[in-house]
A = this chain, B = another copy of it.
Amino acid sequence: MDEARRQRLRAVIEERQDTYLGWLLDACRQPSVAAQGTSMTEMADLCELLLRGIGAETRQIATAGYPVVYGEIGQGEKTLSFYDHYDVQPPDPLALWESPPFEPTIRAGTLYARGVADNKGNLVARIAAADAYRRALGPLPLRLKFIFEGEEEIGSPNMHAFAEAQAATIAADACIWEAGYCDTRGRRQFSLGLKGILYVELRVRCASVDLHSSWAAIVPNAAWRLQRALSALKDAEDRILIEDFYARCVPPTEEDMAALRALDFDEAGRRELYGLPQFSQGLSGDALLAQLSFQPTGNIAGLWSGYSGPGLKTVLPHEAACKIDFRLVPDQDPLELFAKLRATLDAAGFEDVEATLLGAEHPARTPIDHPFVQVVVETARATYGHEPLVQPLSPGSGPMYPLCQMLGIPAVSLGVGNEDSRNHAPNENIHLRDYWLGIEHIGAIIDRFGKASGECFGGAVS
């Protein structure tokens, strides 16, 4: 985008600040918490209204859960899609919010509201960018597809089925994924992939009822049984013992490592923030970076048995359970590993330990040398005035595999968050300056990508 076009785009965004801010405030006023089922219909309708307002054709596509709001606008050789979600995390603990979570409030140029960073700010910015582009620069040079799901915060349980049923609808040459932030020095950061996830609950039952603990001499204790079963799944060095667990893990390339190093991960600052004398296994440097981004995890997210109240209770618990989330890296397969988890427990004599699959998602990533990554980086450099950072694989998860990777669509995750946006936590926020720049950046991507030569983007993501 030449400088004249950029100035025209910027001017329109500035002129229409009140409008674009108003759209976002309206979105943030909806308490669209999927986990609690509040305002989901209202929020889906509002998304459709905003899309229609800029001239898009829209529809709500039913799923087994909340519908996907779908919108299309523009014509051209290329298609760029946006994946966002209109649901948000529950707002509690409410007492820690400085202003009510669903009454968006601006203090010193920062907008506070549940969901403003994750990810209504991005969702609305993308609609605003299409609007600003048309007003500033004329017809869109490509087709835009807006895919707004309503269940991201509850694990996107219906996105696989949706993607299979709607493959033609969501087909695109590239996708801008939901969210992005800054590092502590204010540098924009993009991510090229997401870890997958395997979420299981393990449950042990011994006796048929809880007993007085005097029976512990001869009656098996479910908590001890679970404790032993867990020993069969991980060793003392944090190595996961599920058979073939690491077999499909693709190690980072030198280019990946270089990108990780460029992130300038602040080890000491992060350790201090989290109160840690050291990271796991005393890792640091390249080994730490590789571990964080390219190694899978097995995290006990919850563990419970018997009495956890104050003081003494002498009970022999007949049941014990835990939740474990395994974050997976390319090319691990969650369902294959769930079967291996079962086999590993069985082989160690824990056939009685019940394993329930609560969630599964494949990892997904776009190679760092994909041409679309360059489009995003170049336009960011021009918009923000500094070199952005690229994270080859984010340690979080999301439905990027069914919506992009399975369909061969390269995806880059970026957005209007900052280094302390407090996603999922009280006082979630974005800086308004990041919002205006984020709208401009999307406009620049539309411009640049709409004019890119076709052959650069024909290749599927491997």
Residues of chain A having any CB pair with chain B under 8 Å: 34-36, 89-90, 92-93, 153-155, 195, 197, 199, 206-221, 223-224, 226-228, 230-231, 234, 236, 238, 274-276, 279-280, 283, 288, 291-293, 295-317, 320-323, 325, 327, 358-359, 394-397, 422-426
- By beta carbon, the residue of chain B nearest A157 is B312
Q: How far is the CA of A197 from the CA of B301 in the complex (A)?
A: 32
23 contacts between A and B (CB under 8 A): A89-B315, A92-B309, A155-B312, A195-B214, A197-B314, A199-B314, A208-B275, A212-B424, A213-B301, A217-B292, A217-B293, A219-B276, A220-B276, A220-B279, A223-B300, A227-B300, A301-B307, A301-B315, A301-B317, A303-B305, A303-B317, A312-B325, A314-B424
Total copies of this chain within the assembly: 2
Most buried by B among A223, A300, A424: A300
Q: Are B309 and A214 in contact (CB-based, < 8 A)? A: no
Residues of B within 8 A of A307 (CB): 90, 92, 301-302, 323
Contact of A300 among B231, B293, B305 (CB under 8 A): B305
Q: Are B214 and A313 in contact (CB-based, < 8 A)? A: no
Additional 6 contacts, C-beta under 8 A, given A212-B423, A303-B304: A35-B311, A36-B311, A197-B314, A212-B424, A215-B395, A314-B325
- The minimal Cβ–Cβ distance linking A335 to chain B, given in whole angstroms, is 16
- The minimal Cβ–Cβ distance linking A269 to chain B, given in whole angstroms, is 14
Q: Are A395 and B197 in contact (CB-based, < 8 A)? A: no
Q: Are A300 and B212 in contact (CB-based, < 8 A)? A: no
Most buried by B among A297, A315, A395: A315
Most buried by B among A231, A299, A323: A299
Q: How far is the CA of A303 from the CA of B315 in the complex (A)?
A: 11
Known contacts A209-B274, A236-B228, A313-B424; A218 and B306 CB within 8 A of each other:
no
Contact of A302 among B275, B283, B299, B305 (CB under 8 A): B305
Q: Are B306 and A276 in contact (CB-based, < 8 A)? A: no
Q: Are A209 and B317 in contact (CB-based, < 8 A)? A: no
Q: Are A303 and B300 in contact (CB-based, < 8 A)? A: no
Most buried by B among A92, A212, A216, A307: A216
Q: How far is the CA of A219 from the CA of B309 in the complex (A)?
A: 27
Q: How far is the CA of A89 from the CA of B291 in the complex (A)?
A: 47
- The minimal Cβ–Cβ distance linking A91 to chain B, given in whole angstroms, is 11
Q: How far is the CA of A230 from the CA of B234 in the complex (A)?
A: 14
Q: Are B209 and A425 in contact (CB-based, < 8 A)? A: yes
Residues of B within 8 A of A92 (CB): 307, 309
